[in-house]
Chain A
Amino acid sequence: MEKRSRTSSFADEIGDIPGGEGIRLCIQCGTCTASCPNAARMDHTPSQLIAMARAGMKDEVLSSNAMWYCLSCYLCTVRCPRGIKQTDLMHALESLAVREGVSHGRTLTPAMYRSFNDFVYSLGTLPEMGFMTWFYMLTNPMRAFKLLPVALSLRKRGRLKVKARRLTPEGTNQLRNILDKAESLGGVS
């Protein structure tokens, strides 16, 4: 078997993640980039990101803000002429960046996702009020002030409750055991 070049190993790492294997198929047509509602905000476009990953530019790719601007709208995925699951690829890159501890200071999305996940892990459910409050406390409490009218209007109509749904104690334990086991098994690849 032909020896893999040094530069291809990062693409292989991505290709081993379920949903990431399509990275080998890209023909750089740019359909994903043209379809992306957020491409203009990204430091590298979706198609550039694939080219960079295949060129072995691991640090540049994982520290990019691009995947964190992905809205999971799946427009790229349904349009890709090569059948690449571009959205899942973005999620794979996000997970890799988290796993490698790469910092991504230019967007608050990772911090927001982290707050969300912490609640889901501890409670098995998402209390919207608690999650939003926690996220703004952790990041920029001043931003929350601008949103006060939105929060009050939701609250007035009973749409922002402090008390959240809970699983039964047995259900909470069961879920915790499953998630802890998953963590001990490492990642998906």
Chain B
Amino acid sequence: MRYYTYFPGCSASEGGAQAYGRSALAVGKALGVELVELDDWNCCGSTPYSSFEELASFCLSARNLALAEKRGFDLVTPCSSCYVILNRANAYLKQYPELKAKVDEALAAGGLEYRGTVRVRHLLDVFVNDVGYEEISSKVKKNLGGLKVAPYYGCQIVRPSFGFDHPEFPKSLDMLIAGLGGESVNFPLRARCCGGSLIISEESVALDLIKKLLESALTNGAECLITVCPLCQTNLDAYQSRVNKVFHTDFNLPVLFFTQIMGLAFQLGEEDLGLKTCIVPAERVLAKYI
């Protein structure tokens, strides 16, 4: 058994990416990864907070880090935004003593202190590096033979680099897909942006980027695409119909969380996988494996 403190983030806990949270926990269980949710965690603040009130944004992260430090395990999140924000706070608190002093003072107002010992990890990193590809393969009950998958990393899991994969040419999802018996297609835009939260404020910017990603995946023969981030999944899946409407296209590419195809290969049930929560139906492509 491996033990971690789990930070689901707003989307994967009770937000739009609950299927991600559920499948993450279920796959973790199958792999002997015990993800114990951090008590009373708060939102990481994501990009909006760090763009408006930087000191407060570091304090949002610092509260979570301080709570996690009491438990003493690595802090694991399935969300790329939480991952980058918590890691950035961790790095900056070490690098800038004056910032640390201010954050310490704010934390003290809440009766907390943070010594700086927590390691922040992405769930994918934990699965492929702590558990390992071989052990993952050994749990496969239904080989995803022939399934052509576009491995979509997006941005913040690999950039700015917190060390577990290449910032522009990452490999871990590709190797994971291969370990499940699937085929990762050549996908040049694997680590390019989905538009992030600008889908809300500047829709045309994001739709443009989403269209390019879908095009790239389909041109290379993908039958589905997997993501490592709730926002990437929502943009590519829920807004695919908007792309079709605006650009007069007819994309119909299922977009899944990487934990969902892992769970599929492990033959977990729908209550763990949440495949039915996909907006672009995934059943047709995955029928062989369900």
Residues of A within 8 A of B (CB): 17-19, 37-38, 41, 67, 69, 71-75, 77-78, 85, 87-88, 91-92, 94-95, 98, 107-109, 111-114, 116-117, 120-121, 124-128, 132, 135, 143, 147, 149-150, 153-154, 157-161, 163-165, 167-168, 170-171, 174-175, 177-183, 185-188
Tell me which residues across on chain A come within 8 A of B56, comparing CB atoms.
121, 179, 182-183
Known: A77-B159, A154-B279. A116 touches B48 (CB 8 A): yes
Closest chain-A Cβ to B52's Cβ sits at a distance in Å of 5
- Which among A67, A111, A125, A188 is the interface contact of B43 at CB below 8 angstroms? A125
- In the complex with contacts A71-B195, A126-B43, A178-B63, A116-B49 CB distance below 8 A: yes
Once A37-B209, A112-B48, A161-B14 are accepted as A-B contacts, the answer to whether A178 and B200 lie under 8 Å apart by CB is: no
Using Cβ atoms and an 8 Å threshold, which residues of chain A touch B168?
75, 78
Q: Are A188 and B58 in contact (CB under 8 A)?
A: yes
Binding site for A on B (CB under 8 A): 10-11, 13-18, 40, 42-43, 45-56, 58-60, 62-63, 84, 88, 92, 95-96, 99, 102-103, 105-112, 155-156, 159-161, 167-168, 192-193, 195-198, 200-203, 205, 209, 234, 238-239, 241-242, 276-279
Using A124-B42, A181-B109, A182-B59 as known contacts, say yes or no to A188 and B160 having CB atoms under 8 A apart. Answer: no
Of the listed residues A67, A69, A113, the one surrounded by the most CB atoms of chain B closer than 10 A to its CB is A113
CB of A78 within 8 A of CB of B18, answer no
Chain B residues contacting A179 (CB-CB under 8 Å) are 56, 59-60, 106
Given contacts A92-B54, A178-B112, contact A18 B14 (CB under 8 A): no
> Do residues B106 and A165 form an inter-chain contact, with CB atoms below 8 A?
no
Complex Cα–Cα for A121 and B56 (A): 9
A159–B277 CB distance below 8 A: yes
Q: A135-B200, A178-B106 are in contact. Are A71 and B10 (CB under 8 A)?
A: no
Please measure, in the bound complex, the distance between the C-alpha atom of A38 and the C-alpha atom of B198, giving whole angstroms: 11
- Give bound CA distance, A137 to B147, whole Å: 43
Q: Contacts A18-B99, A174-B111, A178-B107 known; A113 to B15 CB distance under 8 Å?
A: no
Q: How far is the CA of A170 from the CA of B48 in the complex (A)?
A: 25
A-B contact pairs, 14 of them (CB 8 A): A71-B155, A71-B196, A71-B205, A74-B167, A75-B159, A95-B51, A157-B278, A165-B10, A174-B111, A175-B63, A177-B110, A178-B62, A181-B59, A187-B53
Given contacts A159-B16, A182-B55, contact A19 B202 (CB under 8 A): no
Known A-B contacts A73-B159, A112-B48; the reply to A153 vs B279 at CB < 8 A is yes
Q: Which 7 A-B pairs have the closest CB atoms?
A: A74-B159, A181-B109, A113-B48, A171-B40, A112-B201, A73-B193, A116-B48
